[in-house]
Amino acid sequence: MSTHRQDPLTQVSDFDIRLLRLFRSVVECGGFSAAESVLGIGRSAISQQMSDLEQRLGLRLCQRGRAGFALTEEGREVYHSALQLLSALESFRTEVNGLHRHLRGELNIGLTDNLVTMPHMRITHALARLKERGPDVRVNIRMIPPSEVERGVLDGRLHVGVVPQSGALSGLEYQPLYDERSLLYCAVGHPLFYVDDQELDDARLNAQDAIAPTFRLPSDILAHYQALHCTASASDREGMAFLILTGRYIGYLPDHYASAWVQQGRLRALKPASRFYDLNLASVTRKGRRPHLVLESFLEVLATTA
């Protein structure tokens, strides 16, 4: 196959769109093998269709082999162009469906990890009501760090996200959902696990190995971490839980998320009356977005769900 086509691509067929959807999945999964379960086809079939797409475009899109999967420079540009095209197609389909007042299409949601244990369950209830309104709606949920959620909403890969609100990014709209309380925990095996809170002074607590988050948080909450001796970090709350459960670190976790381990006697909160912070969680959408009936319906029921 030549590096570049002699002639430009004259039209985009349904076959091309199917190949671009496959290409998007391969990129987002990080390779052929990881995409097999998502696409429901084998690696050889994926490889063949990727070759078909490269032949169709006249471009080498990725490197694959023993060194692993990696996009070429042309592949990265085609990927971003494909996202724009597929997003436009989805918007068109949603708008046409809206003419018939039937909810069809996709809703792509990005969520901060470990919200499912929230007692309010507003997101769960809103999704249930959306499914009642539109049985044919396809819901796609991605559990990713807050910064990835916001980036996905900005570039159109996600229709809506739910993130800890730590300052508004330009181009995004935030709507408060609920508050979440985090407490400072240690696990069985940690030297402080059996120490009474009355015997714990701040100096001793602040000297323990602790975990710092790498995701954005408001400055007043960051102050809680700055007071600790942070010798490890984690990109999400599940990573923090892994480290705390080693019995070698202390760290903050949402109380609803830690509750099951507390009941099992594996975690305990340290000085919960003073070592805590409250974090606002908000839905996030893109400003100036095009009409999207499925998204608007979801936001409507989310706003009215207790």
Q: Which is more confidently placed, 202 or 120?
A: 202
Closest CA to 253 of 149, 121, 191, 242: 242
The predicted model scores a pTM of 0.64
List pLDDT tens digits, range 105-159.
899 999 887 676 666 778 888 999 999 888 889 999 998 888 889 999 999 999 9
- Domain containing residue 190: 107-306
Q: Which segments of the chain does DSSP mark as H helices, in order?
A: 14-29, 32-39, 43-57, 73-99, 122-133, 146-155, 202-206, 219-226, 237-244, 255-263, 293-304
As a whole number of angstroms, the distance between CA 172 and CA 303 comes to 17
- Please give the residue that has the higher pLDDT: either 147 or 240: 240
Is 225 a member of any domain? Answer: yes
**In-domain check, residue 175:** yes
**Residue type at 24 in one-letter notation:** R
pLDDT digits (tens, 9 = 90+) for 66-89: 777 889 999 999 999 999 999 888
Residue 298: per-residue pLDDT: 92
Classify residue 92: in a domain, yes or no.
no
Are the CB atoms for 110 and 144 separated by under 8 Å?
Answer: yes
**6, pLDDT greater than 70:** no
Q: Please report, rounded to a whole number, the percentage of residues in the chain having pLDDT higher than 90.
A: 55
255-265 burial, b at 16+ Cβ within 10 Å, e below that, comes to bbbbeebeeee
Range of lowest pLDDT (15-19, 61-65, 230-234): 61-65
Write down the mean pLDDT value for the chain: 88
- Per residue in 212-250, is it b (16+ CB within 10 Å) or e — as a string? bbebbbeeebeeebeebebebebbbbebbbebbbeebbb
Residues 219 and 135 reside in one and the same domain:
yes
* Residue at 154 is within a domain: yes
Q: What's the domain count of the chain?
A: 2
The answer to the question of residue 6 being in a domain is no
Q: What is the pLDDT of residues 241-280, one digit of tens each?
A: 999 999 999 999 999 999 999 999 999 999 999 999 998 8
Residues 269 and 185 in one domain: yes
- CATH code of the domain containing 74: 1.10.10.10
Asked whether 82 and 53 are in contact (CB, 8 A), the reply is no
For residue 31, give both structure tokens.
């390779």
Rounded alpha-carbon distances, angstroms, from residue 288 to 3, 170, 173, 182, 293: 39, 12, 9, 34, 15
Instruction: Examine the domain organization and report whether 112 and 78 are in the same domain.
Output: no
| Greatest C-alpha distance within the chain | 78
Tell me if 2 is assigned to some domain: no
The reply to whether 123 and 199 lie within a common domain is yes
Query: What Å distances lie between residue 30 and 22, 38, 71, 217, CA to CA?
Result: 12, 12, 10, 28
Q: Please check whether residue 149 lies inside any domain of the structure.
A: yes
